[in-house]
Structure 1
């Protein structure tokens, strides 16, 4: 077996089904910042820790590096278009988006199946990404909604086996 090319590595990673999140924060000047991420995972139950990663080339990186808090919004199946919008460049991501302000100012998206309000505990630079570890200060969930899933470059939702 040969070392992976970028294309084969990305294709192999695409075989792992993930949930879809939008990570949000409020910049120092009050501007809303948000981006789609499927690199979200739990780390620890005690203390409650989660992680996500962001490309080192992202224009949002300075905001997430510099703020003390952010929110992770786990999307419902009805929020596919929102996931696409927050992944796009050159669009007003926040136009018409309903949200409430979390305790530390990060936006909590209406319709999300779960939200995690996080203290920006630590960061690790690895390869071409920065890994953020957040300590969850508040969280909530809605069990009546179905999750938005991503697999092999396409969106799905759950179906019980």
Structure 2
């Protein structure tokens, strides 16, 4: 395959994959005593028995380094009023320390991983497998605890679609 065809295939894939509406979440973990977090929209529930989720993380990122060094991580599904958190933690080149400074968090019950306050839902996971796929790693984890924000029954999720933010109506 020549490079021109490969480039057009990649560009077309990016264009069409932006048509997939996705919930926005924060993946977080502790690296020694420092709290680390990034915004993601590539995560999914994998199994209900046992409850298992997976998240796609760029393989060369500092977040991936952190996930390889810890046994647990957390996923906080953001509500539609938390767009500022998504933008802040989604900015490339974040400092290694202090990413969550000024953001309300609380510790996950089993491992103390940082969870975002007022998230629509949150999950604490124990890493069970890391799979290398192209430029990313799929980090698979068994859910060891979960919950919802205090206002989750009235919240709407933060969504990404066509490179923009949005939401859907309440249930």
- The TM-score range, normalised by the shorter chain, is over 0.9
1:96 alignment counterpart: 102
- Flag the 1:94–1:112 CA change in 2: closer, same or farther, 3 A: same
Q: 1:16 aligns with which of 16, 20, 27?
A: 20
- How far 1:95 moved relative to its partner? 2.3
The answer for unaligned runs of 5 or more in structure 1 is none
Secondary structure, counterpart of 1:77 in structure 2: coil
Query: What is the RMSD of the two structures over their aligned residues, measured on CA atoms?
Result: 1.7
**Superposition misfits of 4+ residues, deviation over 6 angstroms:** none
Change (3 A) 1:6 1:76: same
Indicate yes or no: 2:65 matched with 1:62. yes
Q: Deviations over 1:18-74 (max 9, x none)?
A: 0000000001x2100000000110100000001111011212211101210000000
- TM-score, structure 2 normalization: 0.88
Q: If the length of structure 1 is used for normalisation, what is the TM-score? A: 0.93
Report the equivalent of 2:116: 109
1:7 to partner: Cα distance: 1.4
Cα displacement (A) at 1:160: 6.5
